[in-house]
Amino acid sequence: MSERKQHGAHSGLVTNDRGSAELSVAPEIPRRLALTRKQLIGLPLLAAIPILSLLGLFGERRSEVHAASRSIEMSIRYPARFRYRQVQSLDIAVRNTSGHAVDTIKVSLDTAYISRFSSVRIEPSPSIAFIVTLTDVRPGASRLISAELWGDRYGRHQGRIAAIANFDTAAATVQTVVLP
């Protein structure tokens, strides 16, 4: 009968029946990488994030839309994508394309869109909630409306901006994504 004893300071040494010490050898285990299903999915995603950010996927981006009617033309430059708590501008250029002066052009900014941002400043100041009135616009003349938007809520925000002169309307839809 073989009796083996392990000694505290010499835990790798084992004594046999004759009392001589011999080294215990660990069994040979083949090396292999073992990942769970979640790790197999997550690891490539984690590797892709820095690459995608270098390519500009998570950065700021601006877009431009145009709308026209018989007497008004509108060009809107807006933030298509920006980060939470950063400030971006929304610029609306309204131009009288008719052959006569237009007394009043009202530019309506969608309340559902604008209210998704905080500390919104609009120049010239709106007369009614998010409705800017432009008066005495000569033929061929342009007016600029500028709004400063502070990203307050994550997600996709969409709204409609319309310029109304008499019974003529030019409208366009804008969409902004606020990233965390």
Q: Name the residue among 95, 80, 101 with its Cα closest to residue 170.
A: 95
56-113 per-position pLDDT tens digit: 777 788 999 999 999 999 999 999 999 888 999 999 999 999 989 999 999 999 999 9
Domain 61-179 falls under CATH 1.20.1560.10: no
Of the candidates 133, 138, 67, the one whose C-alpha atom is nearest the C-alpha of residue 99 is 138
pTM of the model: 0.71
104-148 tens-digit pLDDT: 999 999 999 999 998 899 999 998 889 999 999 999 999 999 999
Give burial (CB, 10 Å; 0-12/13-18/19+) of 90.
buried
Q: Domain residue spans in the chain? A: 61-179
